[in-house]
Amino acid sequence: MSLPVYNPTDASTRRDPFPLYEALQEQDPVHWSEALRCWIITRYDDVRQIVRAPEISSDRLGPFYASQSDERREILSGLIRYLNEWLVFKAPPEHTQLRKLLNKVFSPAMVSNLEPSIQATVEHILDPLDTSQPVEFMHDIAVLLPAYVILDLMGLPRRDFPQLKTWSDQLRLFIGSARGDDDKYRKAREGADHMAEYFRRAIHARGAELGDDVISQLVRAWDEEPDLREDTLVATCMLILFGGHETTTNFLGSAVSTLIDHPEQRERLVAAPELIESAIEEFLRFDGPSNSIARVVVADHELHGKTLKQGQRLFAMINAANRDPRTFDNPHQVDIARNPNPHLTFGQGLHFCLGARLAKLESKLCVQEMMRRYPNMRHAPGEVQWLDALVMRGPMQLPLHLE
């Protein structure tokens, strides 16, 4: 029997990777991808362990940058300058210091207090929709809600979002795509340069007039940490914007698509709206926005008979792990009342997603309101197109009839 081959640029894999993930789990759980020149890990216990293992590091930008040609390093230098300061690419002790600071800003109480304003934003987006015509869900709803929420939180004008979205899309080419070409790196560098300058101006504009917005809170926190550089503050603002809207946008698309593709679960949620929170957890498990996490091997070690060598990259496939039958009963079925549901979508331990509570709250309020207004929503003509990405997953296009 020939072993399955993982190539994320394949159109059918991008559309529905789960049959391949299942085959890899059974036949080759530690799979070497020639297309990516890295390891692909698919079983739940292995993925869960990787985020905690001392042999594995989240600091993968340094080794990647060092391996590039002089010409490509010149292209990447400005990009790496800021991404190296992102929390998700840091390891302790730098990670510990920055995470502690950000936990103060993104507290559970802060997120809970946002519910009325997020509900108002949902209604602001849905009210003007012309439901007599097909709606492009990603463009008309999924992109706007998390963008408006994060811009409001940061004290930034909503009118700036189209430009910020352009830069964010350029940045995503480096962070999420499996393709490695210089044009991708040039565009990502351009997006990072523009976004960094935008946030540097926003930080300086606060001056002595600090408010209650997230940027003002971060400026205050930085003033109490003299060893933290301004570049780190700028990069943290970039991460909050990027992570605060990209992940939730992708998740809203996959959650709504899942509801439509499983009408019995949609009808169940309409009849029992109190299941909304467990439904959100199930959508995160079934087809979540975090397709994988990238790591670097820092010490040779064995896993399922394969030798992972120092310096090699690996991708722990979260969406594969979330459907591992060794952990989940009937993993390829949607059950909006599934309990327990120990999915790994928002990570584990040190790298548990800082914005998980906010993403869940936004998604809950949006899906809840859509079920109330459009219990019979369905696909409209046109193909559901999925991101050409390795780290992230979600629809780029999702045409709907809202009924």
Strands 313-316 and 38-41: what pairing? parallel
**Least trusted range by pLDDT, from 32-41, 56-65, 134-143, 338-347:** 56-65
Residue 88 has pLDDT above 70, yes or no: yes
Provide the pLDDT for residue 66. Answer: 73
* pTM score: 0.93
User: What gap in Å lies between CA 190 and CA 192, rounded to an integer?
Assistant: 5
Neighbours of 20 (CB within 10 A): 22
Give the per-residue pLDDT at 158. 97
Residue-wise pLDDT tens digits, 181-211: 568 889 999 999 999 999 999 999 987 789 9
* 303 vs 309: CA distance, rounded Å: 11
Of 21-30, 82-91, 176-185, 357-366, the one with minimum mean pLDDT is 176-185
pLDDT over 90 percentage in the chain? 67
Q: Which of 25, 38, 55, 39 is nearest to 322 (CA)?
A: 25
Q: Does 78 score more than 60 pLDDT?
A: yes
Q: Is the peptide bond before 54 cis (omega within 30 degrees of 0)?
A: no
Q: What is the pLDDT of residues 243-264, one digit of tens each?
A: 889 999 999 999 999 999 999 9
Q: Which of 140, 148, 123 is nearest to 401 (CA)?
A: 140
Two tokens, residue 166: 């352009």
Overall average pLDDT of the 210-227 stretch: 89
The confidence score (pLDDT) of residue 95 equals 82
Pairing of β 56-57 and β 30-33: unpaired
Outline where 33-181 has alpha helix (H).
Answer: 44-50, 61-66, 70-83, 94-105, 108-112, 115-126, 137, 144-154, 161-176
Q: Is the pLDDT of residue 1 over 60?
A: no
Q: Across the chain, what does the average pLDDT equal?
A: 91
Residue of 10 and 190 predicted with greater confidence: 190
Structure tokens at 334: 């949607």
> What's the topology of domain 11-401?
Cytochrome p450 (1.10.630)
Which position has the higher pLDDT, 273 or 103?
A: 273
Tell me which DSSP letter residue 89 carries. G
Tokens in use for 82? Answer: 């800021």
For residue 181, what pLDDT is reported? 58
The length of the chain is: 403
| Spatial CA neighbour of 362 closest among 144, 214, 204 | 144
- 30-33 and 38-41 strand pairing: antiparallel
Q: Is pLDDT at 2 greater than 70 in this prediction?
A: yes
User: Which segment of 46-60, 349-363, 387-401 scores lowest on mean pLDDT?
Assistant: 46-60
- % of residues, the chain, pLDDT over 70: 97
Calculate mean pLDDT across residues 220-243.
89
pLDDT at residue 55 above 80?
no
Rounded Cα distance, 300 and 294, in Å: 17
- Summarize pLDDT for 119-171 with one digit per residue, the tens: 999 999 999 999 999 999 999 999 999 999 999 999 999 999 999 999 999 99
pLDDT exceeds 90 at position 57: no
- In a 3-state reduction of DSSP, which class is residue 33? strand
Per-residue buried b or exposed e for 307-346, using 16+ beta carbons within 10 Å of the residue's own CB: ebeeebbbbbbbbbbbbbeebbeebeebbbebeeeebbbb
- Read off the pLDDT of each residue in 297-324 and give the average, rounded to a whole number: 94
